[in-house]
Amino acid sequence: MSWNESDILNARRIILGAALDMLAGRLTFIEGARKIVAARRAARLDDWDPDLLPFVGIDSETEALPFGEMRAHWQPAALDALRPEMDRMETWAREIGEPHCRNLVVRFSSS
């Protein structure tokens, strides 16, 4: 698939927005990782980009957890039962992702 400059800039803005929202507490690190991973190909960044790979790992390790729109398809009791695991994984995702969010903000704020 070929991307035009507008698509690339839009994808990079999505990545920047997700990083800013995670750092500000408006978006969980798991949901933010999912947004970044979804936008990374269109952003035309290296697959081995050191600031994107941690989010690929977060997404992979948490793909079974219901975050974002997925939660609407789960029973409240099931969500309650998963809460400790979700909280634990969100803490882990924050520890891994926070420094990379800061790097992405620096990299893409001037774009």
Rounded distance, CA 41 to CA 92, Å?
25
**27 DSSP assignment:** S
pLDDT tens, residue by residue, 1-17 = 566 899 999 999 999 99
pLDDT tens, residue by residue, 20-67 = 999 999 999 999 999 999 999 999 998 899 999 999 999 999 998 888
Is residue 84 pLDDT above 60, yes or no?
yes
Output the pTM of the full model: 0.90
What is the predicted pLDDT for the residue at 68? Answer: 78
pLDDT tens, residue by residue, 87-109 = 999 999 999 999 999 999 999 99
Q: Which residues contact 13 (CB under 8 A, 6 or more apart)?
A: 108, 111
